[in-house]
Structure 1
């Protein structure tokens, strides 16, 4: 499959050529295997098969999903969460805080957050009830996340004391199991980011390195607005450190000067 053929496939799903720049090789390999399994000798036959069979189309779309993550990826963000964002949530005296991990892949980001939240129990007398919703369109990723097994490479940025407390090394030594105590406040759900949101009234939404990177403008802008509508007034949206918002909006304000954290404007204060 050459680049022109791959571009045609991306266009079929509204996916971005530039977004796939660094991951093209691996995705192409998966698609070639799928084509071979179906007996499709060229891209024309493959595209026709996708048009005729919604199940095949859905399978192809899942094969094109990308999961590049590890625990505490982009360390500066996690330090901001630990030292500023989460303490502010706790000091707000809210009774319940909702967090949505939109496009959670295999769960590293979700459990990184759960670890931070658990560690804050040592510094605060009382924490709000926390509910974490983790969604992804790839069922294989979700099932892997719920099992909670991770390779050593996923843990390379996890401090030694955190690893000892929250991970159990398996007998063969190649994988680690996340502590079961971290799983109790997490709900896992199959969800496509281009579809209607699974819930609303979130205080914090993680939308990192997925929708804003891999989709074309025509699809990601309306989907982004739906995500934005799920934030409570004053809620925070976190995107990837190298991502940009798909549109200018006065409903989002940069949080403390960070380029990847935005705060939903409190509409009750708009005219004040």
Structure 2
């Protein structure tokens, strides 16, 4: 598959060339193997199959997912959540604090939040239970997340102290496994962002470096509005550090010091 054909496939899904340009090599290889398995010799026949067979279309959508993550990616976010943003939200709260990690990839983001929550408990006298729903379309990513075993590269922003506290060293330091207590209160679910959200009343939704990166504007707005509908009143939507909501998405206000974090306006 050449780049022109890949652009056509992206257009079929309303995906963004700008988002896929740097990662297209691996995606194109996966799509090529899928075309061969379906007996499609050219893009036209492949698109015809996708149009007529929902299972093949869903599989193609899954193969288009890009799973790039690491623990505490965008450190300013995690420091801001722990030091400034979360304390006033959770102090004295009785009901569980609901978090959705949307497009969770291999689970690094969900586990990072759980680690940060454990650290926050040390400075606050009373905190509610946290419930984390972590979703992805790619079942292979979810299996890796459930296992909780990672290479050293995924932990390059984790200090030695936090490695000792939250991880077990495996295979002579070539792998690290999250400690069992970190897996508690995390529910891993297969979910397509175009579908209905996996619940509602979320106090924080982490939607970083996926919808805003890989979707074109019309689809982007559709998915964003769907996701925002599942936020609790005054809930927070967290985008990637360089991402901003389109002007056509209403009812959200950026935090003054964190322009990539948006609060849902009451009503």
**Do both share a fold (TM > 0.5)?**
yes
More deviation in 53-62 or 128-137? 53-62
Secondary structure at the counterpart of residue 20 of structure 1: helix
Determine the C-alpha separation between the residues in 1 that align with 2:25 and 2:163: 32
Residues 106-255 of structure 1: pairs in structure 2 closer than 5 A: 106-255=106-255
Alignment partners' CA distance in 2, 1:218 and 1:11: 12
- What are the ranges of 5 or more consecutive residues in structure 1 without an aligned counterpart? 268-272
Tell which deviates more after alignment, 228-237 or 85-94: 85-94
Deviation, 1:250, is: 4.8
In 2: Cα distance, 1:22 partner to 1:92 partner? 45
Matched-pair contact (CA < 8 Å) for 2:90–2:97: no
**Stretches of structure 2 lacking an aligned partner (at least 5 in a row):** none
Answer yes or no: is the 8 Å Cα contact 2:71–2:154 preserved in 1. Answer: yes
Normalising by structure 1, we get a TM-score of 0.93
* 1:40 to partner: Cα distance: 2.9
Return the offset for 1:219.
1.6
Whole-Å separation in 1 of the counterparts to 2:55 and 2:231 = 33
- Rounded to whole Å, the distance in 2 between the matches of 1:40 and 1:194 is 26
Deviates more, 1:64-73 or 1:79-88: 79-88
2:80 corresponds in structure 1 to: 80
CA contact (8 A) 2:91 2:124 kept: no
Tell me the equivalent position of 2:23: 23
Inter-partner Cα distance in structure 1 for 2:261 and 2:185:
24
Partner of 1:51 in structure 2?
Answer: 51
C-alpha change, 1:184 and 1:7, in structure 2 (3 Å) is same
Residue 12 of structure 2 is aligned to residue 12 of structure 1: yes
User: CA contact under 8 A between 2:208 and 2:239: conserved in structure 1?
Assistant: yes
**Secondary structure of 1:195's aligned partner:** coil
Contact 2:92-2:127 within 8 A present in 1 as well: no
What RMSD, in angstroms, separates the aligned Cα atoms of the two structures?
A: 1.6
Measure the CA separation in 2 of the matches of 1:183 and 1:223. Answer: 28
Say whether residues 1:90 and 2:51 are aligned partners: no
Give the Cα–Cα distance (whole angstroms) in 2 for the partners of residues 100 and 247 of structure 1: 23
